[in-house]
Amino acid sequence: MTERVLPDADTVEAALASHEGPWGAGARVLSVLDQSTGLGQAAVLRASIAPPNACPSVWIVKILGWGRQTLLDSRDSLLDRREAHFYGSGISDLLPSGLTTPPAATVFSHHGFTWVVMRDIGAVLQQSWTPESAMTAARRAALLYVPGVLRPGLLDAPWLELEGYAAYTHHIPTGHDNLDALAGDPRLRALFTAEQVRDLHACLDASDELCARAARLPTTLVHGDLTPRNAGVDRRGALALIDWEHVGVGPVGFDLGTFVSLYRAFGGHGELDEPAVLEAYGRAVSELAGIDLRPAAALGAATAHLTWGLHLRLGPGLTLVRQGLNRDAPAKLAAHLDDLRSGCLRALSWASAAGAVAAVR
């Protein structure tokens, strides 16, 4: 995709003026700040917007499809439209108390692009994650089971992602190549032992079987990219979630797996008791379903580690290092390598803990 120049304040102001919205008629855009991550296909701006005769407030402006393709290469044809479908579908209105999304989210079309404009909740998202708040997040994430109960046909919507755990399976060949290259790279040969490399190869080879097992698990509405960067616990104890590009239907436990997989990499503090967090989620979703879903949730969480987590780390994650990522920033490189190593080893440990070890050996 050709890289586009990000819109300035005048361009955003013209777009807002083209559609009636909660920002108010005649609103002026005082400033815009680029907050695009470089990983998604949307331009993300933080805009200061002032309605006539009122104090300015901060909004997030997302222009879907404005960004550029990256090494993540999701190959998901709906990725740049799914969040607009989510906010336009009314699903957010079905989220129970304990789950929230950015207020006043509005979707409209302008000059051939879909714009999603919402109130900024950065203050919630910027709070530090601790083991205690992670436990709260686990219990609240279970509430995503509720919308499917309230509206049984909801999970049949054609735009929902159906196999998020398989979203990055096309990185498996690169993952194998990267593992094979470690022994010849003096910077990386100590990343894993020979036995660990063998087991990681086996995990990659077991993807089809793991995904087939995941497809047979009880399902729930899933955020699909529930990581510490996309979530925060507000002052009332509710879990606030942003970035719904991967919202879909998936196995119970999958969202918990993605959260735990990137807890340390995305700034989580303290040692996370992963089995205890899984138990908290499993008990909460079982109470909502009226049946014991803890074994299914354990396998769903393990699948997230063994597919989604491994495919991203051993594919684009390791490729970036081999291409020179943070070569001149030793501290950042060390942190990235620590996540690659610890994330992959946690995946191997979850294979056994969740009873999936037979699938990888």
Across the chain, mean pLDDT equals 92
- What pLDDT is attached to residue 53? 85
Beta carbons within 10 angstroms of residue 326's beta carbon = 15
CA distance 42 to 70: 12
Give the SS3 label for residue 360: helix
Q: CB-hemisphere CA count at 13 Å for 217? A: 30
* Confidence class for position 354, pLDDT limits 50, 70, 90: very low
CA distance 117 to 120: 9
pLDDT in tens, 161-184: 999 999 999 999 999 999 999 999
pLDDT at 272 over 50: yes
Task: Decide the pairing of beta strands 239-241 and 99-100.
Answer: parallel
pLDDT at 268 over 80: yes
- What pLDDT is attached to residue 76? 82
pLDDT at 270 over 90: yes
Q: Which two tokens stand for residue 91?
A: 């699903």
* 120 close to 60: Cβ distance less than 8 angstroms: yes
145 vs 42: which has the higher pLDDT: 145
- For residue 232, the cross-strand partners are 240
- What pLDDT is attached to residue 14? 97
pLDDT at 1 over 60: no
- What pLDDT is attached to residue 358? 52
Beta carbons within 10 angstroms of residue 62's beta carbon = 26
pLDDT in tens, 85-118: 999 998 999 999 999 999 999 999 999 999 999 9
State the amino acid at position 113 in one-letter form.
F
Residue entry with tokens 């304040």? 9
- Average pLDDT in the 208-221 region? 94
- What pLDDT is attached to residue 5? 82
* Confidence class for position 6, pLDDT limits 50, 70, 90: confident
- What pLDDT is attached to residue 352? 67
Beta strands in the chain (DSSP E): 28-34, 42-50, 57-64, 99-100, 106-110, 113-119, 219-222, 231-233, 239-241, 248-251
- What pLDDT is attached to residue 356? 46
pLDDT in tens, 65-88: 886 656 567 778 888 899 999 999
- Average pLDDT in the 262-271 region? 93
Interior/surface letters 164-202, b for 16+ CB within 10 angstroms, e for the rest: bbbbbbebbebbbebbeebeeeeebeebbeeeebebbbe
Q: How far is CA 122 from CA 35, 139, 282, 342, in A?
A: 11, 22, 29, 28
- What pLDDT is attached to residue 210? 92
Q: What percent of the chain has pLDDT over 90?
A: 82
- Average pLDDT in the 50-71 region? 85
Which of 116, 79, 61, 62 lies closest to 1 in space, CA to CA? 79
* 129 close to 268: Cβ distance less than 8 angstroms: yes
- Average pLDDT in the 123-146 region? 97
Q: CB-hemisphere CA count at 13 Å for 88? A: 14
Domain architecture of the chain: domains with CATH? 9-120 (3.30.200), 124-360 (3.90.1200.10)
pLDDT in tens, 184-205: 999 899 999 999 999 999 999 9
- What pLDDT is attached to residue 350? 75
